[in-house]
């Protein structure tokens, strides 16, 4: 046991996990020891004979469970980005155990009694604002976990949490199974229409799978370019069919069997807590607060987006007929003909743009933008052990002072979870002295030499880096308030506002450089690129908003246990009038935001809600006429540094000076 790195103090650079020494067999003993230690700490707090006060109860809880936190942060990050069947087996084994442990803490009568006494007398405790908010949020967390319920209801809440942990894990692993197993081999004739960068990515994907030639996989960074450029319609149809069928194939990986149970358990939890639906339960602790508020936003955007999408469809249909397509435009045709129309109307060719967006340059653009806004410097560290050769580590500094460690994991791998995300191996805090964060950005860009990004890929990199800055710039005392530990419909604000800087002409002129000649992207091309940003915005708005509306409908269903998932999906999408040529961005069986965890359940609308904030917020820079205005950047940094120390709307008002306005969102999307 002494050889287990989790039982040692890490003397690695910056205290980073010693990835080179951590083995799968270390996780089980470390999880077990971490849970035992955490429960011992919780019992000690509950049994403390002294009257409860903020220090011996709330702060003591903040200190508790550090071994378990360390083990969990390493394991779950690696299970997502460096998955193997061994790690997946450990995840299946420990997900319910960890959920059961979490329930024992969240439903602990002794702890809740102490927190409840403090909450009842909170106004007389003379707490500082961040402390008062921490107490109030801790109390609310216990109540929403079920700690105030009768014993039998508390027992049932614990059972629900344990079962959901198993189902969430199974759901995510089923999607990964389908994404890992499917590929489409391409012969020489099947490469028709594909530009060089797509062919290179398809060749690299074949090598990764031990094959020769070219293959298309279900990595979004490969399948979307294939659907865009391939002139082989029957192959586009086959690839699209595989893409939308993830998670719903009959057999052990069929997620449609899991969804009704997940929804029913969530609804039961909400009913036990006095809410009519799980959607109402989730929204009660958000900025939006009610289904009515969410529907007001999604309905407004839906109508504007649908009108634009129908116009786009007619243009694409006409182009397809001119191209010789007899019959109706289909979903596997949209991206292909959208690219043709874009080229015709804006003289923009994605194959012309990509050579100017080398990954290395765009990553540096994100670093330097953070430097100009917030004074940060990113210095690569070759001596930091990482968990995969693709991963690179950077010391984040300000005025030569260490701020945090940033890890970049940019490329798709067969065992890596799809999508893009930010996470942390260590959160910033200052309970017993400063602890700096270790933040990771994961993307799934197609790996090639060089790695060339689309403009959408570049925006995704900036998006996830905005999340990273939220973690890196955190300046709070208590771990529970650190970085991205904020309301779900506020957490996307920092990421979405940071996307704007990749489109800044001065950033493009400096960092969008041809990977072979190092020539900057021509000003005329930048002008056409930016002019075309709202092209196909009806499509983007409809496919996203439909997913948000489907999410809310599923979590407001009165009898989810009896739900026929496919029938409900068809009925809901038909009711809102989604064009069949577009379809929903995430179908239920692979909607991991909702079902591989609870983070975005009844919360997928959050991206749209946050877009209202960021569109209105970024308008401050536009009005100032300076994208690096120091006064605005200083206010933005204060917001990022504050984590959950204040209510998010209070933070936004301090940053912007007024309540957010939806007209900025519609203007930004070109839908007003």
Percent over 90 (pLDDT), the chain: 94
Phi/psi at 348 (5° precision): -115, 125
548-563 tens-digit pLDDT: 999 999 999 999 999 9
pLDDT > 90? residue 351:
no
In Å, how far from its chain's centre is CA 46? 36
294-320 tens-digit pLDDT: 999 999 999 999 999 999 999 999 999
Joined together, the tokens standing for residue 81 give 């980005």
CATH class label, 355-531 = mainly alpha
Nearest by Cα to 417 from 652, 83, 105 = 83
**Strands lying side by side in the sheet with 401-411:** 377-380, 392-398, 401-411, 438-445, 421-426
Phi/psi at 409 (5° precision): -125, 85
Eight-class DSSP state of 513? B
DSSP 3-state of 349: coil
Q: Could you tell me which residue, 533 or 495, shows the higher pLDDT?
A: 495
β-strand pairing of 183-186 with 421-426? unpaired
Q: Which helix (H) or strand (E) holds 395?
A: strand 392-398
| Mean pLDDT calculated for residue range 207-229 | 94
Domain 255-348+537-604 belongs in CATH node 1.10.1370.10:
yes
β-strand pairing of 438-445 with 421-426? antiparallel
94-124 tens-digit pLDDT: 999 999 999 999 999 999 999 999 999 999 9
Q: Give the residue extent of every domain in the chain.
A: 5-106+108-145, 183-230, 255-348+537-604, 355-531
Q: Which helix (H) or strand (E) holds 655?
A: helix 648-656
Task: Give 81's contacts (C-beta < 8 A, 6+ positions apart).
Answer: 387, 388, 409, 413, 416, 417, 440, 442
pLDDT confidence of 573, banded at 50, 70, 90? Answer: very high
Return d(Cα 288, Cα 659) in angstroms, integer.
Answer: 13
178-198 tens-digit pLDDT: 999 999 999 999 999 999 999
pLDDT > 90? residue 350:
no
352-361 tens-digit pLDDT: 899 999 999 9
Nearest by Cα to 573 from 585, 562, 591 = 585
Q: Catalytic: which of 82, 179, 459, 464?
A: 464
Quick check: do 255-348+537-604 and 355-531 share a fold? yes
One DSSP character per residue, 619-642 reads HHHHHHT-TT-HHHHHHHHHHHHT
Query: What pLDDT was estimated at residue 1?
Result: 46
| β partners of residue 442 | 409, 421
Cβ 444 vs Cβ 220: under 8 Å: yes
455-490 tens-digit pLDDT: 999 999 999 999 999 999 999 999 999 999 999 999
Return d(Cα 289, Cα 287) in angstroms, integer.
Answer: 5
Cβ 311 vs Cβ 332: under 8 Å: no
Cβ 384 vs Cβ 13: under 8 Å: yes
| Mean pLDDT calculated for residue range 609-618 | 96
Q: Under CATH, which architecture does the 5-106+108-145 domain have?
A: Up-down Bundle (1.20)
3-state SS, one letter per residue, for 115-152: HHHHHHCHHHCCCCHHHHHHHHHHHHHHHHHCCCCCHH
Average pLDDT, the chain: 96
Q: Which helix (H) or strand (E) holds 163?
A: helix 151-181
Return d(Cα 404, Cα 393) in angstroms, integer.
Answer: 11
pLDDT confidence of 661, banded at 50, 70, 90? Answer: confident
- Torsion, Cα 472 473 477 483, to 10 degrees, reads -60
To which residue do tokens 């530009």 refer? 195
| Four-residue CA torsion sign, 86, 87, 92, 98 | positive
Cβ 185 vs Cβ 211: under 8 Å: yes
Phi/psi at 353 (5° precision): -80, -40
Number of C-alpha atoms within 13 angstroms, CB side, residue 420? 24
Rounded to whole angstroms, what are the CA distances from 575 to 250, 549, 555, 578, 629? 27, 11, 17, 8, 46
Joined together, the tokens standing for residue 244 give 């939308």
Nearest by Cα to 481 from 636, 640, 598 = 640
Cβ 125 vs Cβ 59: under 8 Å: no
pLDDT > 60? residue 2:
no
| β partners of residue 50 | none
499 catalytic residue (yes or no): no
| Mean pLDDT calculated for residue range 356-378 | 98
DSSP 3-state of 417: coil
pLDDT confidence of 348, banded at 50, 70, 90? Answer: confident
Q: Which helix (H) or strand (E) holds 459?
A: helix 455-472
pLDDT > 80? residue 146:
yes
């Amino acid at each position: 046991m002494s050889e287990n790195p989790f039982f040692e103090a890490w003397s690695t650079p910056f205290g980073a996990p010693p990835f080179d020494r951590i083995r799968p067999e270390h996780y089980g003993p470390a999880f077990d020891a971490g849970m035992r230690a955490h429960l011992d700490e919780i019992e000690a707090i509950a049994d403390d004979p002294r009257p409860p006060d903020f220090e011996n109860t709330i702060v003591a809880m903040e200190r508790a469970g550090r071994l378990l936190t360390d083990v969990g942060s390493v394991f779950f990050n690696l299970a997502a980005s460096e998955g193997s069947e061994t790690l997946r087996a450990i995840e299946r084994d420990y997900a319910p155990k960890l959920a059961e442990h979490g329930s024992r803490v969240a439903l602990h009568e002794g702890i809740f009694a102490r927190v409840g006494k403090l909450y009842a007398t909170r106004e007389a405790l003379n707490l500082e604002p961040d402390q008062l908010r921490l107490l109030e949020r801790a109390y609310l967390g216990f109540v929403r976990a079920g700690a105030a319920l009768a014993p039998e209801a508390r027992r049932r809440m614990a059972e629900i949490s344990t079962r959901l942990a198993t189902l969430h894990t199974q759901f995510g692993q089923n999607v990964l199974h389908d994404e890992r197993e499917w590929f489409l081999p391409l012969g020489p004739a099947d490469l028709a229409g594909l530009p060089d960068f797509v062919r290179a990515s398809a060749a690299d994907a074949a090598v990764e799978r031990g094959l020769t030639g070219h293959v298309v996989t279900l990595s979004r960074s490969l399948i979307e370019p294939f659907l865009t450029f391939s002139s082989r319609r029957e192959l586009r149809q086959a690839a699209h069919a595989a893409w939308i069928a993830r998670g719903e194939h009959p057999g052990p990986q069929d997620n449609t069997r899991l969804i009704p149970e997940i929804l029913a358990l969530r609804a039961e939890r909400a009913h036990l807590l006095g809410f009519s639906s799980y959607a109402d339960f989730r929204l009660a602790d958000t900025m939006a607060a009610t289904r009515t508020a969410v529907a007001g936003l999604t309905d407004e955007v839906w109508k504007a987006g649908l009108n634009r999408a129908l116009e786009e469809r007619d243009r694409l249909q006409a182009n397809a007929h001119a191209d010789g397509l007899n019959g109706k435009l289909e979903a596997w045709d949209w991206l292909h003909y959208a690219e043709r129309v874009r080229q015709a109307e804006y003289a923009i060719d994605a194959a012309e743009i990509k050579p100017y967006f080398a990954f290395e340059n765009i990553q540096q653009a994100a670093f330097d933008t953070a430097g100009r806004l917030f004074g940060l410097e990113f210095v690569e560290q070759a001596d930091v052990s990482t968990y995969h050769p693709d991963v690179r580590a950077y010391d984040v500094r300000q005025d030569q002072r260490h701020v945090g460690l940033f890890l970049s994991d940019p490329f798709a791998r067969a065992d890596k979870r799809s999508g893009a995300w930010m996470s942390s191996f260590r959160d910033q805090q200052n309970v017993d002295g400063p602890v700096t964060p270790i933040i990771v950005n994961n993307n799934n860009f197609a790996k090639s030499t060089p790695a060339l990004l689309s403009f959408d890929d570049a925006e995704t990199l900036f998006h996830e880096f905005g999340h990273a800055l939220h973690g890196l710039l955190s300046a709070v005392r208590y771990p529970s308030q650190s970085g991205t530990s904020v309301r779900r419909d506020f957490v996307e604000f920092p990421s979405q506002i940071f996307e704007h800087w990749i489109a800044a002409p001065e950033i493009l002129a400096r960092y969008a450089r041809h990977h072979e000649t190092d020539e900057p992207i021509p000003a005329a091309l930048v002008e056409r690129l930016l002019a075309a940003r709202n092209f196909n915005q009806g499509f983007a708005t409809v496919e996203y908003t439909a997913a948000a509306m489907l999410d809310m409908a599923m979590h407001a269903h009165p009898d989810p246990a009896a739900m026929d998932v496919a029938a409900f999906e068809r009925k809901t999408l038909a009711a809102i009038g989604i064009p069949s040529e577009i379809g929903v961005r995430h179908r239920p069986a692979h909607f991991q935001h909702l079902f591989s965890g609870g983070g975005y359940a009844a919360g997928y609308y959050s991206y749209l809600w946050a877009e209202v904030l960021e569109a209105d917020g970024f308008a401050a820079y536009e009005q100032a006429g300076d994208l690096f205005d120091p006064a605005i950047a200083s206010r933005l940094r204060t917001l990022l540094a504050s984590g959950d120390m204040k209510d998010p709307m209070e933070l936004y008002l301090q940053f912007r000076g007024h309540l957010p306005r939806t007209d900025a969102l519609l203007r930004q999307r070109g839908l007003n």
